[in-house]
Amino acid sequence: MTSQTIRLTQTVKGAGCAAKLSPGDLDRALCGLDLPVDPNLLVGLDRADDAGVYRVSDDLALVQTIDFFPPMVDDPYSFGQIAAANALSDVYAMGGTPKTAMNIVAFPAKTMDLSVLRLVIEGGLDKMREAGVVLVGGHTVEDSELKYGLSVTGYIHPDRILTKRNLQCGDCLVLTKPIGTGIIATAIKAGLADQGVTERVTAAMATLNRAAAAIMQDFSVHACTDITGFGFLGHLAEMTVDSGYGVRIKAAQVPVYPEALEWAAMGLIPAGAYNNRSFRGSFVEFGAEVSQRMQDLLFDPQTSGGLLIAVAPGDAEQLVHALRTGGVEAAAIVGEVVAGPIDRIIVE
């Protein structure tokens, strides 16, 4: 198959971040292992965050992350762009600046033309150029399915690390991209998505979280993460559990792709959404007014989703305004941090 005739989503089992190992399985595999202890390891596996952070000096730390996955769109160049934007996103979510990257590639050389690989890497390179990131190397293995992503290193000041772990009572929660990309990728794979929605969602997934991350630096942001494979509620649960607070979400204010709601009602839901729900569903309480399809969307695994930002209530409206005028048009306040019930997410 050449790059002209191929539909990448037909060549793989999973798609994008939905191909992640289920979070419960990962916990079971890592549980009880002897993890490294080092005074300069500021963020490591023991308190898993978007990226690891290692202090080099009093005013410099390295932010390091890796992400790679099988294609969720058919076009190789777009897939490269999306995989790169997704991998860079974890550095932005920590408040860091990505500097260098390495390609990580699995390629089915026996069944796929090398021109496909060239286009994937070209898409990745273009995103890295846009982000001001220098490609320093890479590693390619032959495999039965195409997978692509980046290992990324960035800079951050050790005193200005944004983690998932610092919610404060009264904070507003701001989301910067619509949700539903997992369901839409399922529709693309099934051949149900028309060109319009495919192009719109492809462009959104390929959009860097760089602008949103730069804008939030000017506001009292307490915590941040990016929405990827665990879905909106899975990543929100990581922020909420053990925070000492609860969270209330207004479902009607969460930006969504309307097509994803329609397809969710038809049952086009990726397996990852069910995994996310069984792992984190016990922390979530849905009001009677929240439809089943909206619940499915809230657990839908996202590829290269937006930032979820906890910001001081007095700054929230201005942050959303700055994001929207800065090109992050979907940005919206979706909920707030409340005194209780502790560790619970109430969706109403």
By CB under 5 A, the residues from 148 to 167 that bind Co ion are 162-163
What burial letters (b/e) apply to 269-302, b meaning 16+ CB within 10 Å? bbebbebbbebbbebbebeeebeebbbbbbbbbb
CA distance linking residue 184 with residue 9, whole number of Å: 12
Assess 336 for contact with Co ion (CB under 5 A): no
Q: For the chain, give the number of residues.
A: 348
CB of 50 to Co ion, least distance (A): 4
Which of 3, 11, 42, 50 touches Co ion by CB under 5 A? 50
CB contact set of 63 (below 8 Å; sequence gap of 6+): 51, 52, 53, 90, 91, 94, 96, 98, 152, 153, 154, 155, 156
CB of 154 to Co ion, least distance (A): 12
Q: Which of 17, 31, 172, 224 is catalytic?
A: 17
Q: Which is nearer to Co ion, 93 or 185 (CB)?
A: 93
CB of 115 to Co ion, least distance (A): 28
Q: Which is nearer to Co ion, 67 or 315 (CB)?
A: 67
- 216 and 315 Cβ atoms separated by less than 8 Å: no
Is position 169 annotated as part of the catalytic site? no
Helix residue ranges, H only, 66-146: 76-93, 114-131
- 107 and 146 Cβ atoms separated by less than 8 Å: yes
Which of 6, 53, 61, 94 touches Co ion by CB under 5 A? 94
Q: Which is nearer to Co ion, 66 or 169 (CB)?
A: 66
The helix (run of H) or strand (run of E) holding residue 265 is helix 258-265
Q: Which is nearer to Co ion, 69 or 107 (CB)?
A: 69
CB of 64 to Co ion, least distance (A): 12
DSSP state letters, 178-237: -B-HHHHHHHHHTT---HHHHHHHHHHHHS-SHHHHHHHTTS-EEEEEE--TTHHHHHHH
Site string for Co ion, 51-90 (x = CB under 5 A): ----------------x----------------------x
CB of 52 to Co ion, least distance (A): 11
CA distance linking residue 153 with residue 124, whole number of Å: 15
Closest residue (Cβ) to Co ion?
A: 50
Q: Which is nearer to Co ion, 213 or 249 (CB)?
A: 213
Site string for Co ion, 216-255 (x = CB under 5 A): --------xxx-x---------------------------
CB of 266 to Co ion, least distance (A): 29
CA distance linking residue 60 with residue 156, whole number of Å: 6
Q: Which is nearer to Co ion, 127 or 293 (CB)?
A: 127
Which of 93, 208, 249, 251 touches Co ion by CB under 5 A? 93
Instruction: State the Cα angle at 202 between 210 and 196, rounded to 5°.
Output: 135
Instruction: Give Rg (Cα) of the chain.
Output: 19
Q: Which is nearer to Co ion, 172 or 264 (CB)?
A: 172
Residues contacting Co ion: total by CB under 5 A: 11
CA distance linking residue 161 with residue 59, whole number of Å: 12
CB of 90 to Co ion, least distance (A): 4
Q: Give me the residues that bind Co ion (CB under 5 A), please.
A: 50, 67, 90, 93-94, 162-163, 224-226, 228
Active-site annotation, residues: 17
